[in-house]
Structures are given as structure tokens and as C-alpha cells.
């Protein structure tokens, strides 16, 4: 073959069009089919099947993905069918959550009782299932000193051997808290970190939304790094107990609340001093049935402990004012009863858990001489 008859613009045995195709492949994939070993290394006699070739290309493409990138395919392949929970069905395993309430409702007692249950490796807390991995909890106490906590712990963990709480760790010095928590969690992982209370740990202006979010972002990153739940104690605004339980009752407004995946309001009963109401006012991963009625708890002020009940109460029953919404709920229930429905049927129609909520509604708003029962 003379020089002028040799192929030009392409490799011998390859057309100019094929060469352009190879160059196009190089441009969009970053691979050279002519020179990358194992991918079309011998165009005349390929050593790989098409399926094997496709698998190698996919492997190299995946390896070349930007660091930290997660695709929809990756997420679907995880096959997560429900949110992993620390306490079913409310407390998620990782992230940020909040328990809020006014003064003297027992917020610190509730969170300490939960931390005791986690550290002691209990299977249940107030009737709800605990899914524990480390059987360890950290409590940051900004308001009670070691002497006060020692007294309270003696009451709340009465009858429990001290060694059962060796994995319940307390922090009383909250300066450089993020760094301190990171070091402690590296040293010994925990299922739960309680921050009692947020305002002290944050230390800034509760009206400064930007700084609040920056601080909570650090907490979120720490929770994800160590795969644990950060549960904050926070306060509600003055006189908010006059209204229904709501995420809008929290101090610091939307800047704090928006970062929480779960917000619980602990509310004192309007008439019974020995009862408290656990109200789910925000739950990104929860069905609406959990966010209409409180979970009623019995409160023992002598031992500083809560006990479960099977009762639930509609939120509109918990405001100190007879508001329009509560009256509207009563009128709805009244019309359903006039239509011949039983209390069980009314409860189902209105989205309540059981007939007890309907009876309470009638008891509060009933007309003179009307029975609250069927």
C-alpha cells in the first residue's frame, strides 16, 4: 500500500465517522475506548460481552460521581419503608426534636425520665416502644446543678441499682458545648442527647432567626454524624396556655420550630393538677391522627414521675378560653348525634381516637340538662 493510499483522519481499519464517534464518547464520558484497558482494547476482537462492557462503563461512571452525591436510584435502593424511630412512633432516631411548655409542667422531669429509661435499657417508656442501640444518653443541664440533679434522680430512679445508670452522662458546663458533645460521642456513642434548655445552650437573642438556624445546623450535623437524636427543652410564650396547643406557641418563632422534625407541647390539665397532656403539635413523619388529641399522662409530684393512661383529649378542650373553634367542634358533634350517631361513630367521623374525646367535648360545651353520655 502506498503512502497516499494509507487511511487518513482515523486509525487504520476504522472509518473517519467511527473515529468521530470515539471522540464524542471521550467528550461526554471521559473514557477513551481506544486506550482504556478493558474497554474496546481490541476493536477487532473484543474480549468483553456487551453486558460486561456496560457494567464496566457504569462502574467507572459511578466512581467519577462528585463526592457526597446521592441519586434517586441510591435512595430507592435503600428500601426504607418507615422512618427509623428511637421511640415509636414519635421520636425519630436521628435529627432534632423539641419538648416545649410553660413553667411548672414537668418538662425537665419528663426528659430526665426518658433519659433514665434509655440508659437503663428499658423496652418501653410510658407504653411506647424504645428501639435502643447504645443504651446510653447524655443530658445537658443548664438550670439544675449536680446536687439538685442527684436529689431528683434519686426520686425518679427509685429502686434502681446505681450501676444501671452508668451510661447516663450529665454535662453541667455548657461552654463550647458542640465541641464537648462531639468528643463525648466519639468516646462513647449515645442514643439520645437532651439539651435542657435550648435558650441557655444557644446563649443568643431568641429573635435572631439567622443565628438560631446556624446553631441548630451545627447540632443537626452532629446528630447525623453520630446517628443520635438531639431533644431540646424549650419554652412557650406567656399566656399561650389560654389557647390550643400549637407549634406557634413556642418562643423564638419560626427560626427554631422550622428546624425541628418533631415538636411536642407538654400542657397542664385545665382542671386536674395530677394530669398532664402530651400534645404532638408538629410531626413531619406522623399521621394526622397523632396531632389532633393529647396523650393524657398522670403526674406524681412527690416522685417527679409520669405514668401512662389510655386517655386522649381533643386539643380544643385544653385551652382556658372557650374559643370559636372548640364551639364549632361541639356543634359538629352535636349535629352528628342528632343524626343518630353513637359516640363511637362520632369519634370516627371527626378523626378522634375513641369515644372518650367526644364525651369530653359534650361535657365541656353541653347545654343545660344534656347528658354527656349516649
Same domain, 132 and 213: yes
The span from the CA of 353 to the CA of 292, in Å, is: 9
22: nearest Cα among 34, 13, 11: 34
Query: What integer pLDDT is reported at residue 325 of this predicted model?
Result: 60
Same domain, 256 and 359: no
Cβ neighbors of 83 (< 8 A, separation 6 or more) are 92, 93, 285
Supply the range of the domain harboring residue 348: 324-365
How many other CB atoms are found less than 10 A from the CB of residue 328? 11
304: nearest Cα among 170, 154, 195: 154
The span from the CA of 7 to the CA of 200, in Å, is: 79
Would residue 373 count as lying in a domain? no
Same domain, 135 and 262: yes
Residue where a domain stops, chosen among 45, 76, 107: 76
Report in angstroms the alpha-carbon separations of 366 from 319, 327, 345, 353, 359. 17, 10, 18, 21, 10
Calculate the CA dihedral of residues 73, 74, 80, 83 and round it to 10 degrees: -110
Same domain, 247 and 335: no
Q: Mark the ranges of the chain whose per-residue pLDDT is less than 50.
A: 1-43, 367-374
Would residue 372 count as lying in a domain? no
**Long-range CB contacts (< 8 A, 24+ apart) of 123-127?**
125/87, 126/297, 126/306, 126/307, 126/308, 127/308
Residue where a domain stops, chosen among 26, 42, 76: 76
The span from the CA of 86 to the CA of 332, in Å, is: 37
Would residue 350 count as lying in a domain? yes
Would residue 374 count as lying in a domain? no
Same domain, 26 and 92: no
Same domain, 246 and 117: yes
Same domain, 90 and 43: no
The span from the CA of 331 to the CA of 324, in Å, is: 10
Query: What integer pLDDT is reported at residue 46 of this predicted model?
Result: 55
Same domain, 293 and 153: yes
**β-sheet with 293-300: strand ranges across:** 168-171, 137-141, 192-196, 229-235, 95-101, 262-268, 275-283, 293-300, 305-314
Query: What integer pLDDT is reported at residue 295 of this predicted model?
Result: 97
CATH number at residue 97: 3.40.50.300
Query: What integer pLDDT is reported at residue 347 of this predicted model?
Result: 77
Residue 293 three-state SS? strand
Query: What integer pLDDT is reported at residue 1 of this predicted model?
Result: 47
Specify the DSSP element, H or E, that contains 72: helix 72-77
Would residue 371 count as lying in a domain? no
Same domain, 356 and 211: no
Q: How many Å separate Cα 283 from the centre of its chain?
A: 8
When divided into structural domains, the chain yields a total of 3
Same domain, 176 and 278: yes
Residue 304 three-state SS? coil
Same domain, 160 and 179: yes
Same domain, 45 and 116: no
Cell digits of residue 352: 378522634
Per-residue pLDDT tens digits for 313-360: 999 889 876 555 666 677 767 767 776 778 887 877 777 877 777 787
How many other CB atoms are found less than 10 A from the CB of residue 124? 12
Task: Give the single-character DSSP code of 157.
Answer: T
The span from the CA of 95 to the CA of 348, in Å, is: 33
Query: 242 with 321: CB under 8 angstroms?
Result: yes
Would residue 370 count as lying in a domain? no
Amino acid at each position: 500500500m502506498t503512502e497516499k493510499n494509507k487511511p487518513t483522519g482515523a486509525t487504520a481499519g476504522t472509518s473517519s465517522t467511527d473515529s468521530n464517534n470515539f471522540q464524542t464518547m471521550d467528550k461526554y464520558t471521559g473514557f477513551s475506548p481506544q486506550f482504556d484497558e478493558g474497554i474496546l482494547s481490541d476493536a477487532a476482537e473484543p474480549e468483553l460481552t456487551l453486558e460486561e462492557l456496560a457494567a464496566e462503563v457504569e462502574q467507572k461512571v459511578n466512581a467519577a460521581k462528585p463526592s457526597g452525591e446521592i441519586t434517586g436510584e441510591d435512595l430507592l435502593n435503600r428500601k426504607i419503608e418507615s422512618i427509623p424511630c428511637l421511640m415509636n412512633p414519635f421520636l425519630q432516631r436521628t435529627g432534632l426534636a423539641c419538648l416545649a411548655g410553660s413553667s411548672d409542667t414537668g418538662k425537665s422531669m419528663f426528659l430526665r425520665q426518658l433519659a433514665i429509661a434509655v440508659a437503663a435499657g428499658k423496652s418501653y417508656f410510658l407504653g411506647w416502644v424504645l428501639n435502643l442501640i447504645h443504651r446510653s444518653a447524655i443530658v445537658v443541664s443548664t438550670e439544675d446543678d449536680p446536687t439538685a440533679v442527684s436529689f431528683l434522680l434519686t426520686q425518679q430512679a427509685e429502686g434502681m441499682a446505681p450501676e444501671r445508670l452508668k451510661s447516663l452522662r450529665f454535662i453541667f458546663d455548657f461552654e463550647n458545648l458542640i465541641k464537648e458533645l462531639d468528643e463525648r460521642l466519639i468516646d462513647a456513642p449515645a442514643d439520645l442527647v437532651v439539651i435542657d434548655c435550648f435558650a441557655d445552650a444557644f446563649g443568643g437573642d431568641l429573635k435572631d432567626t439567622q443565628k438560631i438556624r446556624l446553631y441548630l445546623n451545627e447540632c443537626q450535623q452532629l446528630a447525623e454524624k453520630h446517628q443520635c437524636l438531639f431533644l431540646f427543652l424549650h419554652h412557650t410564650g406567656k399566656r399561650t396556655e389560654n389557647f390550643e396547643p400549637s407549634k406557634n406557641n413556642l418562643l423564638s418563632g419560626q427560626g427554631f420550630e422550622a428546624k425541628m422534625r418533631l415538636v411536642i407541647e407538654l400542657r397542664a390539665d385545665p382542671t386536674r393538677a395530677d394530669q398532664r397532656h402530651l400534645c404532638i403539635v408538629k410531626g413531619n413523619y406522623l399521621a394526622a391522627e397523632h396531632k389532633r388529641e393529647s396523650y393524657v399522662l398522670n403526674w406524681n409530684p412527690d416522685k417527679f414521675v409520669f405514668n401512662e393512661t389510655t386517655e386522649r383529649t381533643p386539643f380544643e378542650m385544653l385551652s382556658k378560653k372557650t374559643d370559636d373553634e372548640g364551639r364549632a367542634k361541639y356543634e359538629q358533634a352535636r349535629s352528628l348525634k342528632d343524626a343518630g350517631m353513637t359516640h363511637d361513630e362520632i369519634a370516627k367521623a371527626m378523626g378522634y381516637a375513641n369515644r372518650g374525646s367526644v364525651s369530653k367535648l359534650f361535657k365541656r360545651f353541653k347545654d343545660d340538662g344534656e347528658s354527656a353520655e349516649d
